[in-house]
Amino acid sequence: MKRETDFTNTLFKSEKKLTELGTRLKKCDVHGEYQSIGRNYFGIHESWSKCPTCESIREQKEIEDQISREREAQMREIKRRLGLVGVPVRFEDCSFENYRCDNDDQRRALSTCREYSENFDYYKTNGDGLALLGNIGNGKTHLAIAILKEVQKRHTVIYVTVGDLIKAVRATWQRDSEKTEKEVLDYFKKVVLLIIDEVGVQSGSDNEQQILFDILNARYNERKSTIFLSNCPPRTYMDGGVQVLGVKEYLGDRTFDRLTQISQVITFNWESHRKIARREWMEGSR
Ligand SMILES: Nc1ncnc2c1ncn2[C@@H]1O[C@H](COP(=O)(O)OP(=O)(O)OP(=O)(O)O)[C@@H](O)[C@H]1O
Ligand SMILES: [Mg+2]
Ligand SMILES: [Zn+2]
């Protein structure tokens, strides 16, 4: 008993050994002069407070990192439940910074996408979206992924191709499916931002159109933003006896009208980047 009291006293005395050392004018390379507060702990350790602006920036960043970690975990869970792979490896490095602009149309496409992502919190209130339409290899997916990376810092975003979306819904029709069709449809209907790629690459069967219409219509009614990407031509045409479906016909008039009503349309119609890259590689290897 006695020993315990002694111990408490010692500890108590040690705690008392925090000495205020007053303040000192210090200088931060970034934020200039500040008053640093000095303390000495237990007569051993002396410490001076750091630049308060730097400290609050660091704390803010820690909070943001924590939120973004939680959001990522949430995204992983959604993707796992949907059986989605997320962003294909090929597009992992895509950003606004590495989108090359050789003409004004590209510059416009880039600035519209960047502006959209930066002001997403505003667009989201109205459910405004984007339609990226045009040639293959023009960087539609590249820019959509760049938007995803930006918006994902604050909101839940799903990127999915029509093919994978239809597959995820159809998978629920299996008798041993873990999830119901409604559950999967609800994810696509409710996620803050849905990016649907490769619209029109699939068959455009009635059933597929119905699933797409159901999701897009629900999002429209709930004012949820959707970005959709397609390399379908604006109108259906015949190519050597083969019908090439236009984006309007693929989606159906109703869905198309609703989508374009709430979306800024960006048209991509320059030379394919894949072609340019191939040519530059050929020239470089000569
Ligand atoms: N302006 C650009 N600057 C840098 N890279 C680009 C640019 N445009 C396209 N790319 C790159 O070229 C490749 C093809 O682009 P992407 O897949 O985004 O085209 P797309 O318009 O989605 O084509 P598709 O209609 O066939 O899906 C990607 O690796 C992409 O990163
Ligand atoms: Mg693409
Ligand atoms: Zn500082």
User: 125 and 93 share a domain?
Assistant: yes
CATH code assigned at 208:
3.40.50.300
Q: Please enumerate, as own/partner, the contacts of 269-273 that have beta carbons within 8 Å and a separation of 24 or more.
A: 269/105, 269/134, 269/135, 269/138, 270/102, 270/103, 270/105, 270/106, 270/135, 270/138, 272/135, 272/136, 272/137, 272/138, 273/100, 273/137, 273/138, 273/139, 273/142
Structure tokens that stand for 82 in this block = 């949907």
- pLDDT at residue 278, rounded to an integer: 66
pLDDT bin (cut points 50, 70, 90) of residue 44 is confident
User: 55 and 172 share a domain?
Assistant: no
- For residue 231, tell me if it sits in a domain: yes
- pLDDT at residue 124, rounded to an integer: 94
User: 146 and 46 share a domain?
Assistant: no
- pLDDT at residue 245, rounded to an integer: 77
- pLDDT at residue 188, rounded to an integer: 92
Backbone conformation region of residue 137, classed left if phi is above 0, alpha if psi is from -120 to 50, else beta: left
Instruction: Tell which wins on pLDDT, 282 or 166.
Output: 166
User: What sign results for the dihedral spanned by CA atoms 177, 180, 183, 188?
Assistant: positive
By CB atoms closer than 10 A (0-12, 13-18, 19+), residue 272 is: middle
* Model confidence pLDDT, tens digit, residues 128-167: 999 999 888 899 999 999 999 999 888 889 999 998 899 8
For the Cβ of 94 lying below 6 angstroms from any atom of ligand 1, the answer is: yes
- For residue 12, tell me if it sits in a domain: no
User: 88 and 43 share a domain?
Assistant: no
CA of 88 to the centre of ligand 2 (A): 11
- For residue 13, tell me if it sits in a domain: no
CA of 269 to the centre of ligand 2 (A): 13
Q: What mean pLDDT is predicted for residues 12-17?
A: 55
CA of 147 to the centre of ligand 1 (A): 14
For the Cβ of 266 lying below 6 angstroms from any atom of ligand 1, the answer is: no
Q: Please, what is the average pLDDT of the chain?
A: 84
Domains: count for the chain: 2
- For residue 107, tell me if it sits in a domain: yes
Structure tokens that stand for 156 in this block = 């839940």
Q: Are 111 and 264 in contact (CB under 8 A)?
A: no
Q: What share of the chain is helix, strand, coil (3-state, %, to 5)?
A: 50, 20, 30
**Residues near ion ligand 3 (Cβ under 5 Å):** 28, 30-31, 51, 53-54
User: 161 and 248 share a domain?
Assistant: yes
Alpha-carbon gap, residue 214 to 107, rounded angstroms: 34
For the Cβ of 228 lying below 6 angstroms from any atom of ligand 1, the answer is: no
User: 57 and 170 share a domain?
Assistant: no
User: 61 and 109 share a domain?
Assistant: no
How far does Cα 60 stand from its chain's mean position? 21
Alpha-carbon gap, residue 1 to 20, rounded angstroms: 34
Q: Which of 21-35, 71-85, 206-220, 223-237 has the lowest mean pLDDT?
A: 71-85
Instruction: Tell which wins on pLDDT, 211 or 272.
Output: 211
* Model confidence pLDDT, tens digit, residues 203-258: 667 788 888 889 999 999 999 999 999 988 777 778 888 777 788 888 888 888 88
- pLDDT at residue 88, rounded to an integer: 79
Report the share of the chain in percent with pLDDT over 90: 38
Residue 48 has pLDDT above 60, yes or no: yes
The parent domain of residue 91 ranges over 83-279
User: Which of 39, 72, 105 is the endpoint of a domain?
Assistant: 72
User: Which of 72, 106, 132 is the endpoint of a domain?
Assistant: 72
User: 195 and 68 share a domain?
Assistant: no
- For residue 16, tell me if it sits in a domain: no
- For residue 218, tell me if it sits in a domain: yes
Q: What mean pLDDT is predicted for residues 93-102?
A: 93
- pLDDT at residue 51, rounded to an integer: 96
User: 61 and 111 share a domain?
Assistant: no
For the Cβ of 139 lying below 6 angstroms from any atom of ligand 1, the answer is: yes
User: 49 and 91 share a domain?
Assistant: no
- pLDDT at residue 11, rounded to an integer: 46
Q: Which ligand 1 atom is at minimum distance from the Cα of 142?
A: 18
User: 217 and 261 share a domain?
Assistant: yes
Ligand nearest to the CA of 57: 3
CA of 63 to the centre of ligand 2 (A): 34
Alpha carbon nearest to ligand 1 atom 10, residue: 139
* Model confidence pLDDT, tens digit, residues 171-203: 888 888 888 888 889 889 989 999 999 988 766
- For residue 237, tell me if it sits in a domain: yes
CA of 139 to the centre of ligand 2 (A): 7
- For residue 137, tell me if it sits in a domain: yes
User: Which of 8, 43, 72 is the endpoint of a domain?
Assistant: 72
User: 36 and 175 share a domain?
Assistant: no
